[in-house]
Amino acid sequence: MRRRGAAASALSPWPGYVDALSTLLMVLVFVLLVFVLAQAFLSVAISGRDQALDRLGRQVAELGDMLSLEKGKSGDLAASAAQLTQELQAAQAARDAAMRDAAGLKDALAKAVGARDAAAVDAAALKARVSDEAAELDSAQKRLAGMQARLADAASRADTAAAENLAHLSDQVRALMALRDQLTLQLAAQTAKTQAASDAGRALTAKLDEAGHVADSARAQIALLTKQIDALRAQLAHVAAALDLTQKDVHAKDLRIADLGTKLNEALASKVAELQKYRSEFFGRLRDVLAGRPGIAVVGDRFVFQSEVLFPVGSADLSVAGAEQIRQLAATLKALQKEIPVDLPWVLRVDGHADRQAVHGKFASNWELSAERAINVVRLLVAQGIPANRLAAAGFGEFQPIDTAVTPAAYAKNRRIELRLTDR
């Protein structure tokens, strides 16, 4: 019994160890439970903070876009102020020029008054000259009377000279009659020469008889040529008949071509109508997606995005909000693309436009700025899964304005991106 009690006293610490270990295990389980719960609460809190940070990031991006718009407006206002300053300077210069012109007009008026006084003096002198010329006219009339008297004397002298000329002409007529007699003698001599020529003609007739034989051989050749001509005519008739058949074939082919053209036009009309249907559906979906958003409008058969909606002022890089709108456009186009037949040759054309103000920076002209903006929109659409062969980019610079006024509002209207669903 003494040994058994000693053994029992030796084993008595183990229950305490067991209790301590179980208590420690429970504490560890409790600590782990608290850690897991704390981890869960922290995850929920961190996810909420991430969402809040995302919202704040989007708000910061929107504020950045608004700041860029305000900077653009400030730049436009500064440009307008500079332009108004230039116009004011031009107006002041015009006012100075007008004052100088007024001074010049005063000088001219003074000169005109002096010229009027000089003209009055000249008028008086002219009256004196008129009176002098009247006296000279009387003298001239007297001289005219003397000349008329001399003319009558000259007329009598002319009659005498005419009589002398008549006598001279009579002498010339007699000389012409003598010349006629001389010509008659020459004509008789010429008649003799003509008789000799007649004898020579008879000799020539004999030679012509000899040439007749030559003419007979020529007639034979002519007959042969006539036969050849008849053969050629027969060949021409055969060719004409073949040509008629060819013309009939051509006419039949023309009819078939006209029929094919009609069918082709009908097919094209059906394709155009089909494309018009999908264009209307595309525009309707885009209206639903982009409804109520500022800076976006429908003009005719195209969507118009103001450049400030997609790009910062003077830049061709898409803003965050602009890229998001192009992604929404790509999603709408991808959904519609599944419904458009494969054989329909549709193309989404992206047109870039700029205002007439001079560009600064890396772009040499508004051509390059507008083209680069259109190309960047097309690149993002391709990155979103739109086939490249269904897209086209064009840059029009400042040469297709909506508003031709020289105002900041007109400039803002002309800076735009246009989307048009068309065919190749």
The mean pLDDT of 97-125, rounded to a whole number, is 66
pLDDT score at 379: 96
pLDDT score at 414: 92
pLDDT score at 247: 74
Least confident range of 101-115, 320-334, 340-354, 381-395: 101-115
Q: Is the pLDDT of residue 386 over 70?
A: yes
Which band of pLDDT confidence, cut at 50, 70 and 90, is reported for residue 276? low
Two tokens, residue 218: 């020529």
The mean pLDDT of 119-134, rounded to a whole number, is 59
pLDDT score at 249: 75
pLDDT score at 73: 73
**Distances from the Cα of 140 to the Cα of 134, 143, 153, angstroms:** 10, 5, 20
pLDDT score at 218: 61
pLDDT score at 423: 75
pLDDT score at 264: 64
Q: Is the pLDDT of residue 43 over 70?
A: yes
Closest CA to 413 of 396, 394, 400, 395: 400
pLDDT score at 169: 57
Q: Which amino acid is at 203?
A: A
The mean pLDDT of 182-193, rounded to a whole number, is 66
Helix (H) or strand (E) holding 303: strand 302-306
DSSP of 50-118: HHHHHHHHHHHHHHHHHHHHHHHHHHHHHHHHHHHHHHHHHHHHHHHHHHHHHHHHHHHHHHHHHHHHH
CB 393 within 8 A of CB 375: yes
Which is more confidently placed, 15 or 116?
15
**CATH 3.30.1330.60 placement within the chain:** 267-423
What residues have CB less than 8 Å from 75, skipping those under 6 apart? Answer: 313
Which is more confidently placed, 241 or 411?
411
Rounded CA separation 340/281 (Å): 10
The mean pLDDT of 51-74, rounded to a whole number, is 78
pLDDT score at 407: 93
Which band of pLDDT confidence, cut at 50, 70 and 90, is reported for residue 323? very high
Q: Is the pLDDT of residue 126 over 80?
A: no
- Using one digit for the tens of pLDDT, what is the confidence trace for 86-102? 877 776 777 777 677 76
Which band of pLDDT confidence, cut at 50, 70 and 90, is reported for residue 416? very high
pLDDT score at 5: 55
For domain 267-423, the question of CATH label 3.30.300.30 is answered with: no
Q: Is the pLDDT of residue 292 over 60?
A: no
**pLDDT over 90 percentage in the chain:** 20
What residues have CB less than 8 Å from 305, skipping those under 6 apart? Answer: 295, 296, 325, 416, 417, 418, 419
Question: Please, which residues bridge with residue 415 across strands?
Answer: none
The mean pLDDT of 353-376, rounded to a whole number, is 91
Q: Given phi > 0 = left and psi -120 to 50 = alpha, else beta, which region is 397?
A: left
Least confident range of 211-215, 251-255, 278-282: 211-215
Rounded CA separation 374/318 (Å): 10
The mean pLDDT of 99-106, rounded to a whole number, is 71
CA atoms within 13 Å, Cβ hemisphere of 307: 29
Question: Mapping DSSP to helix (H, G, I), strand (E, B) and coil, where does residue 349 land?
Answer: strand
Tell me the pLDDT of the chain averaged across its residues.
75
